[in-house]
Amino acid sequence: MSNIAIKVENLSKAYQLGQIGTGTISRDLERWFARIRGKEDPFLRIGETNNQNTNSDIVWSLKDIDFEIEQGDAVGIIGRNGAGKSTLLKILSKITAPTTGKISGKGRIASLLEVGTGFHPELSGRENIFLNGAILGMRKKEIQRKLDEIVDFAGIERYLDTPVKRYSSGMYVRLAFAVAAHLESEILIIDEVLAVGDAEFQKKCLGKMGEVSKGEGRTVLFVSHNMGAVTELCRSGIVLENGLCNFTGTSQKAVDYYLKNQSQFLRSEYTMSNIVSNPKFTNIELQLGGSQPSHTLQIKFKVNKTLFSTAAFAVFGIKNSASVTIMEAIPSLDNYINFENKDKVYTCIVHLNSFIPDEYTVYAWLGASEAETYDWVDDKLGFEIIDSPTPKRTFPFSTRTGSQIANSYLIP
């Protein structure tokens, strides 16, 4: 393994679902008893993937992952929420042990799953630099040598001897990132910590990361939802799906693969199976068309045949990944929904504004008035926006600052 920085073999990690704590003694005894008889652990039935629909108590957050990372490579790890990205990072950072498998590598690892771990509010900026640096694995001498650089990067010279509880949140984050960015390690693992701080600082962070991977020749693992940042900063990419490592290749190909397959993750179709006599949606189909910043969402839906004669309305709402409703599509009243002697199909066209990259869910409402709801389909359908609404802008968008952005341009 001359040029390999990290080699992952057969890595798996199982999590126990549900409550841990009640009845664990009996369960522990059961497992222990199985082990001394040389049997397989009864709570780890091998073979299931991270499928959230099975009834088992165990979920495989990672399943038989194999990959190699070369020295000096910058690797982006992409995947949907729950694909196992964070678990992989946690295992690589030695925070939790794998259930099976092995990782070997060489070089010191520094992982940044969170900025400012171990900061103590009562201590001054200087004291926290030392404490945080030591927690991240730096020796005192090393921190001493880099102190000026860190302070300079964070831009907090004047506040160096003030307790960090008096810092603004921006200063706090800047200081924390500065310490982490100056770690001298051969391997750097970064979670989406960049989604903090102001835009200028985010750019500075991305710049620093680029410098680290390209300039200094260190190995970087970068986990992000931000496809732009991944293609820009990383040379290779790994796609995780349901705990399986489904694609490895160049970062551009990995992003393409991810985008091509994203439609199968968020359900774009809903079907009601049982037949009823009151008005319901029997089928809804979503189709995302167009491109940023003017996507179009086509919602094709079917209503059942009923004896109702009153006309009805449909309303569709769009929620972001934080389950906050961003907007509702309320079609104009030129056309009503009528229930007739046969199933009828309608299509609703929704023009989307500049949505930020995120996963969105769609709910559908059917009724005659505000007080009279016939059907309500929630959390069944969704779509994902991948591209940035502003071309070439790579800094991350966050739902904290809104799910849509206003189209804007600079006049020189």
Residues that bind other proteins (CB under 8 A): 15-16, 20-21, 24-25, 28, 71, 90-109, 111, 113-114, 117-118, 120, 122-123, 127, 130-131, 134-137, 139-140, 163, 186
- Whole-number minimum distance, CB 96 to other proteins, in Å? 5
Q: How far apart are CA 360 and CA 332, in angstroms?
A: 23
CB nearer to other proteins: give 174 or 218: 218
Helix axis angle, 140-154 to 169-181, nearest 10°: 130
CB nearer to other proteins: give 24 or 325: 24
Chain centre to alpha carbon of residue 352: 22
- Whole-number minimum distance, CB 253 to other proteins, in Å? 28
Asked if residue 66 lies in contact with residue 10, where contact means CB atoms within 8 angstroms, the answer is yes
Secondary structure (DSSP) of 135-172: HTT--HHHHHHHHHHHHHHHT-GGGTTSBGGGS-HHHH
- Whole-number minimum distance, CB 121 to other proteins, in Å? 8
CB nearer to other proteins: give 217 or 402: 217
CB nearer to other proteins: give 221 or 255: 221
- Whole-number minimum distance, CB 323 to other proteins, in Å? 24
SS3 label, residue 80 = coil
Nearest to 101, CA basis, from 63, 69, 75, 71? 63
CB nearer to other proteins: give 189 or 240: 189
- Whole-number minimum distance, CB 162 to other proteins, in Å? 13
Q: Which two tokens stand for residue 19?
A: 């409550």
Q: How far apart are CA 377 and CA 364, in angstroms?
A: 5
Asked if residue 385 lies in contact with residue 289, where contact means CB atoms within 8 angstroms, the answer is no
| Cβ-based neighbour number of residue 353 at 10 Å | 15
Q: Where does residue 64 rank: exposed (0-12), middle (13-18), buried (19+ CB within 10 A)?
A: middle
CB nearer to other proteins: give 113 or 160: 113
- Whole-number minimum distance, CB 123 to other proteins, in Å? 6
Q: How far apart are CA 70 and CA 54, in angstroms?
A: 37
256-295 core/surface letters (b: 16 or more CB in 10 A; e: else): bbbeeeeeebbbbebebeeeeeebbbbbbbbebeeebbeb
Q: How far apart are CA 70 and CA 244, in angstroms?
A: 21
- Whole-number minimum distance, CB 56 to other proteins, in Å? 16
Q: How far apart are CA 197 and CA 180, in angstroms?
A: 15
- Whole-number minimum distance, CB 112 to other proteins, in Å? 9
End-to-end CA distance of the chain: 53
- Whole-number minimum distance, CB 230 to other proteins, in Å? 22
- Whole-number minimum distance, CB 212 to other proteins, in Å? 16
- Whole-number minimum distance, CB 24 to other proteins, in Å? 6
Q: How far apart are CA 193 and CA 223, in angstroms?
A: 9
Q: What are phi and psi of 247, to 5 degrees?
A: -150, 135
Asked if residue 176 lies in contact with residue 119, where contact means CB atoms within 8 angstroms, the answer is yes
